[in-house]
Chain A
Amino acid sequence: MKKGLFYVLIFFAYAVHAQTIKFTIKGTIANTDSIKYAYLTTLSQQIPISSDKIFMVVPVVNGKFEFKGDFDLKGEDFQFANVFVEERGNITKEEALSKFRRLIWVNGKRSNAKIVILEDLTLSINAYGETKEAIISEGGVLTKQVDERTNAIIDGKREMIQFVKRHPNSSMSFYAVKEVLSWYDAARKDKIESAWGAPSELFNALSAELKNSKKGIALKKRIDEKTKP
């Protein structure tokens, strides 16, 4: 009996920390010149969001590819990844890691890679070298929000506030508030407020559910500490 309870507790403790998600990422390619294989990886040049857990390669057949897998989020809300297409099918994880480490590949800048979130989605890629501009034709709720958030960062003009207002209950909005807060320092207060909004403005645009969650309360405390005059 005691032993059984022990296993239940162990399982419960594990289940709290482990949150494994399943994903299916599909793609269609209009012009397959110079494209024979598709890759999906969680590797990135950005150390905080990089993970060496996923590195997958599949052949492109009749202009289509598909990745299926699962990923342990380990307490995070989502995981960034990137999809790229190549003629070569023998790119190794080590080669990819070297290219990220040496900044030969820079996600966000690289025209042949699309930043995605590990979730169910379908990408529509036009041709080689245009993967970054791929359209999400199905699913990809968070990935679409990544694109919106990126545009809000680039455009400035306080577009980020509108982004959070459009998705008040999204983990991507919560991430965006944290991100702007991380850029904040007293010397850049005016500039940050003009470009993306004050962290408190962004926080206030989140849903009551997110604001009152444990992590929401912690974030508010952090905002108050960091932005107090």
Chain B
Amino acid sequence: MKKQNLKSLFLLFILLINCVGFVHAQEALKGTLSLKSDFSLLSQKPLKLVVKRRDLAGYFVKSDTVIVKSSTLEYNIELEEPIYLTVDFYWKEKKLTTNSFWAMPVTYEIIFGNNFTPSVKDADKSQVVKGIKHLDLQYKTYVEESEKVVGNVNYEHQKIADVETKISKIRDSFENAIDTNVYLSAVNKNAKSVIGLYALLQFAGRPNGKPRTITEPKKIDALLNTLSPKIRALPSAINLSNTINLEQQLKVGNVMKDVALPDAVGKLYKISDFKGKYLLVDFWASWCTPCRAENPNLIKAFTKYKKSGFQIIGITRDHLSRKADWLDAIEKDKINIWPQLSDFKDIAQKIYNVEAIPVNYLIDPKGMIIGRNLRGGDLEKELKKIFKY
């Protein structure tokens, strides 16, 4: 009873802070972002800095390296929208200090504390940044509460499967609360603000592994259209719109786009080479734990249904510098029984918009997409349905 009251109070608190709308300050979203710093009072100046930009959806955009030649820094970039900036300062003897912050097209002064730790003056002054951080905080609060509740679930004298079902339900209910109370609420309240777009981008990319850009593209498109034309014209909004369009082309029932990629020894394979078979195109990487956790299931399915016309091809998201890791993982996981292709030039990544992995497509003998992101029991069920054993 006490726990229930606490939970209710917590949710009431979340709802109350949600009722507080964001201030629709007319801040400029485009323009010049300047980073300024004075190293003259420091015992040394940095050798270089690396400035990395991420867009509103969290995708990496660009990295610049600036060699520091004088005792002052003035670095300018043109922004089309607010960005998440990470600035790494490299000092003598390979010392590294860093700072990350949401940046608007204004001038920021970077000052240094002990051990050359950088901080950004007035980084949180912007209403847009305050709004974004407020959403992030609400998200974090829900996740922490969810994990607290899950951590208290009792396993004693119960079937593991029943407890796991209960855990999934708890996590789902918190995820739903995040979507409804945090993100959707912010989209509805901030149609003319970049905060609304930020909330929509988070909503569209959730839940992890099954983003709504794939499962509910119409809903995402409709929500995007509720935002003002000015917000819809921002690069991250245009990217979202492009993603929805691309995902529409890659939805179940459409023909799978073709691509030609090499295996480890340079032999080219095309998806169309496998026409006539049921083909699973699996995007993975050596560093992707959930991808590799799935490999025993894939081996099982491949061994069982190969003779009936089931084929798998793996496409790695490992970069060229990780080629040896990729080959090691293939050997270790014993998945050299089907073609393993590299995508070092990101050709397939662009065609299929692979931003996060694991991702897979199941294609029928005519080349039509009949399933997406089928893993574990879901893949087994689908293959049983197809091959009837």
Contacts and interface: CB of A to CB of B under 8 A. Distances in A.
A is bound by B? yes
B155 interface: yes
Given A94-B160, A95-B160, A104-B150, A195 B324 contact: no
Interface string B262-273: 000000000000
Interface in A149-193: 156-158, 182, 184-187, 190-191, 193
Interface residues of B, number: 27
A47 to B, nearest CB: 6
Contact of B164 (A88, A98, A182): A98
Contacts of A88: 156
B156 A90 contact: yes
A186 B319 CA distance: 9
Nearest to A106: B147
Contacts of B320: 186
B321 A226 contact: yes
B328 to A, nearest CB: 9
A80 to B, nearest CB: 16
Contacts of B388: none
A191 B96 contact: yes
A185 B322 contact: yes
A194 B321 contact: no
A225 interface: yes
A185 B164 CA distance: 37
Interface of A is mostly: helix
Contacts of A99: 155
Contacts, number: 55
B325 interface: yes
Interface stretch (B87-95, B117-125, B215-223): B87-95
A90 B157 CA distance: 9
A53 interface: no
Interface of B is mostly: helix
A176 B156 CA distance: 38
B134 interface: no
A209 B293 CA distance: 35
Given A190-B90, A190-B96, A193-B94, 14 more contacts: A47-B292, A94-B160, A98-B155, A98-B160, A98-B164, A99-B155, A104-B150, A104-B153, A157-B95, A185-B321, A191-B96, A194-B96, A225-B324, A226-B322
Closest 10 CB pairs of A and B: A194-B96, A186-B321, A185-B321, A95-B155, A194-B94, A98-B160, A94-B160, A225-B324, A185-B322, A226-B324
14 contacts: A47-B292, A47-B293, A88-B156, A102-B164, A104-B150, A157-B95, A184-B321, A185-B322, A187-B321, A191-B88, A194-B94, A194-B96, A195-B96, A225-B323
